[in-house]
Chain A
């Protein structure tokens, strides 16, 4: 791309984001800010039982309540939904079964919220309570009653196993094998905006829903499926999300309810979830138990890893099949493991469904991996920084699991973060009670395959120009606060040589914008961005062809910069951008162009190779400093340093904000966030209830708790990315948790092998240390999980071709190589 060599006018310059003014004036309209004449209000009745058969729902009294217009129950929704085609297991309102406290059972639509709430209390539901499954081990031990009648067996939802080369052999040949157990508690997104939706019939009688969704395209498909209405008669408008973090990726029961009610009643119907309900909708971080065995030589080279994970899935599939993969697949991207085996099992439990939260399935194994490396370095008497530098993957590498690493700035990140944090001067040298910890991570810039199988592009952009000089960009991408509108505006403005003030961005509207799969997996910058580059380049070519004769030059010598269009060798002459557009419109007619993007085909060819590949991986390295009060266990974090390989920062203000925001969310979950549950006493129903479904009890860091973050952006443009820009929204969260755990070890010599790291755990570990026991708190056993026989694939360097092969064949091939 020649524009990466051209001097850049917009890209890389600190700039007010295009939606900045709307946000600071309160003019931005979130879903709950919308209202229409004759609008009705919906409320949901939710299950008080974690697991029960719904024997009957009697809504007669509710229907007669003043102000009530409609009551919906499971009988009104015979068709299930599910974001992944392999996990279509959920109904907008439960039909025969409820699977967690909070599962919606019925809906009241009334003239005002108050009447709807009153009517909810009049609905009589007869439940027959079933034994709840309280956790994955419980689910393994109690295959009956089954929470769902599909899945692998009993209460196992997904069970996966992959082996890339003979890992037992790799561990046998190591000088020692580090074996560790880790646990990562679940936590939730806690977006500031509670989900809200407004559905109505438009002037043509078609259904329109404005909703706080990250994925209008997937919601569109699911609405069509559940409501049995053609997609062409449904328009989904993703309102700007007041924070997403993955929590607004799944379609929600409430979205189907208001849509159905609008179709039945012909009136606008709105719902706004309460904060408590948002905790029940959840789809957040899976609690994961992990067992990690890593072979190491005495020189500190890794020989292989065997990773096992056990996920607490909650009551529904959600993104679970992908989440299960993600507890393994990205582990070998940062360091070279000659052989790698991973087994993962997701169990249904009677809790709100888990799903994608920032980092989707990868923070848990990354935590274990990076803490284990710290332990290995300690055992080898080696600086953890040196151990990491010794094992890094290189640009263009394939992993044992056939992921293409692409560009990597991880070594630069490590060296930079060590320098700015004074790692060498601090590690092991700070006074007792103070320490530093280091960790690394990687994340995908977009997943290589769509959630449903299809051969179409992942993102489409249309750019429209007219004689006013206004550039309008249409794209299905969704602004969730991450700055996707700004990314599109900046890329198009740069390519056409105008400033972002001339660009208007229209996004996230299935009625008028080309399909983009949504704001998840850090895919928008690269995918919508590449589509935008293509569309804008096509338009620029049209303009250049139209004006080159007047400029007395060739089309490819026409330069577009700062609102001017001129010949490269005659920069003094030329015309304004508006004049160029006018000239082109006169010659060519109305000016518009489209662009689209599909990621490259991944190199792995075995079944399951579609999860993990990405056109580009970002890399991060983090140092956390921690102070531990040994009397109270209190942890204070004075400062965090983060170096992030971003390829190129399109807008450094926003990129830095994403890094700091990621660090914040990582530190908050490392120290305190827990989506955890407790059993009520038997006399109070014995139900499994959320410990803290409120913002007061669900602790998160405030401005007072948040340390200063020093950010270093490592910029080496990636050739697969628009203007070289890789992702930044998720990667910088990931190394914070292990870096904190490692800092605590440096400070007081104890290992906390689970997240969150709370003062009580630190105290327990300190007590164990004082008593001469292992100075550690963490899981002490791993249950027997019936993992399947692994899919065996030879690593690239053992003669593999990316396909599944037989293990015996692998040994022969390995022998042949030797």
Chain B
């Protein structure tokens, strides 16, 4: 087996910009984002689709990037935690996580924020149970989830106020 496998080249839309990238074809979206595009904000916790730390949005839908082949992402819109910020300002979800204690060690945080962003896009006023259900695939060992739920609730309120 060759030490350096053949590479493929394609272009994804990453955080709103065209991102041409070449990589070994067996690589997951998670690996290409982290290793080939330098976007290390997306974390890996298991590489087996069990923990949710690697969640990114693909065409607006939360996807476990450790289970997605980068090869399949050509031309698709990928959004990672690095694209959430609004210029120099934090997105209301980010601010709420930082202010409400939704992030302790911070390792699961990017994945949860991406999941929450997708939730609020389709349901601007989720109940606590709906928030819990949406984030049940994102494991967190620090917070006990309560302050995560509170952060998402608080951000939802802010985002609704922005829309009106």
Taken together as a complex, chains A and B put the C-alpha atoms of A484 and B125 apart, in Å, by 35
**B46 touching A242, Cβ below 8 Å:** no
A660 interfacial contact with B, CB 8 Å: yes
Q: Which of A168-210 contact B (CB under 8 A)?
A: 189-194
> Which one of A255-263, A390-398, A435-443, A697-705 is at the B interface?
A697-705
Taken together as a complex, chains A and B put the C-alpha atoms of A656 and B120 apart, in Å, by 26
Residues from chain B with Cβ under 8 Å of A703 in the complex:
131-133, 135-136, 138, 140, 145, 148-149
Pick from B48, B110, B139: contact of A26, CB under 8 Å = B110
Contact with A along B1-44 (1 / 0, CB 8 A): 11111000000000000000000101000000011000111111
B63 interfacial contact with A, CB 8 Å: no
**B47 touching A480, Cβ below 8 Å:** no
**B40 touching A33, Cβ below 8 Å:** yes
Chain B proximity of A232: nearest CB distance (Å)? 31
Q: Secondary structure of the A side of the interface?
A: loop
B87 interfacial contact with A, CB 8 Å: no
Taken together as a complex, chains A and B put the C-alpha atoms of A637 and B48 apart, in Å, by 29
Chain B proximity of A679: nearest CB distance (Å)? 25
**B40 touching A481, Cβ below 8 Å:** no
Chain A proximity of B162: nearest CB distance (Å)? 18
**B104 touching A274, Cβ below 8 Å:** no
Pick from B3, B26, B106, B143: contact of A28, CB under 8 Å = B106
Q: Which of A699-735 contact B (CB under 8 A)?
A: 700, 702-704, 706, 708-709
A21-B90, A704-B132 known; A661 vs B104 contact (CB < 8 Å): yes
B99 interfacial contact with A, CB 8 Å: yes
Pick from B24, B39, B90, B105: contact of A192, CB under 8 Å = B105
Most buried by B among A190, A665, A700, A706: A706
Residues from chain A with Cβ under 8 Å of B85 in the complex:
25
B141 interfacial contact with A, CB 8 Å: yes
A427 interfacial contact with B, CB 8 Å: no
Q: Secondary structure of the B side of the interface?
A: loop
Chain A proximity of B96: nearest CB distance (Å)? 9
**A192 touching B98, Cβ below 8 Å:** no
**A481 touching B144, Cβ below 8 Å:** no
Chain B proximity of A737: nearest CB distance (Å)? 15
Chain A proximity of B18: nearest CB distance (Å)? 21
**A192 touching B53, Cβ below 8 Å:** yes
Contact with A along B74-94 (1 / 0, CB 8 A): 000000111011000010011
A406 interfacial contact with B, CB 8 Å: no
A664 interfacial contact with B, CB 8 Å: yes
Pick from A32, A704, A709: contact of B44, CB under 8 Å = A32
**A16 touching B99, Cβ below 8 Å:** yes
Chain B proximity of A659: nearest CB distance (Å)? 9
Chain B proximity of A122: nearest CB distance (Å)? 11
Taken together as a complex, chains A and B put the C-alpha atoms of A33 and B42 apart, in Å, by 9
Contact with B along A228-261 (1 / 0, CB 8 A): 0000000000001111110000000000000000
Residues from chain B with Cβ under 8 Å of A24 in the complex:
81, 90, 93-95, 97-98, 103, 106, 109, 113
**A112 touching B4, Cβ below 8 Å:** yes
Chain A, residue nearest B49 (CB): A696
Taken together as a complex, chains A and B put the C-alpha atoms of A275 and B94 apart, in Å, by 27
27 A–B contacts from the bound complex (CB under 8 Å): A20-B99, A23-B98, A23-B109, A24-B90, A25-B41, A25-B82, A26-B42, A26-B81, A30-B43, A111-B3, A114-B26, A118-B1, A192-B43, A192-B105, A192-B140, A193-B107, A194-B44, A480-B105, A481-B107, A481-B142, A656-B101, A657-B143, A664-B143, A703-B132, A704-B136, A706-B146, A709-B146
Q: Give residues in A with beta carbon < 8 Å to B.
A: 16-17, 19-30, 32-33, 35, 65-67, 110-112, 114-115, 118, 189-194, 240-245, 274-275, 480-483, 653-654, 656-657, 660-665, 694-696, 700, 702-704, 706, 708-709
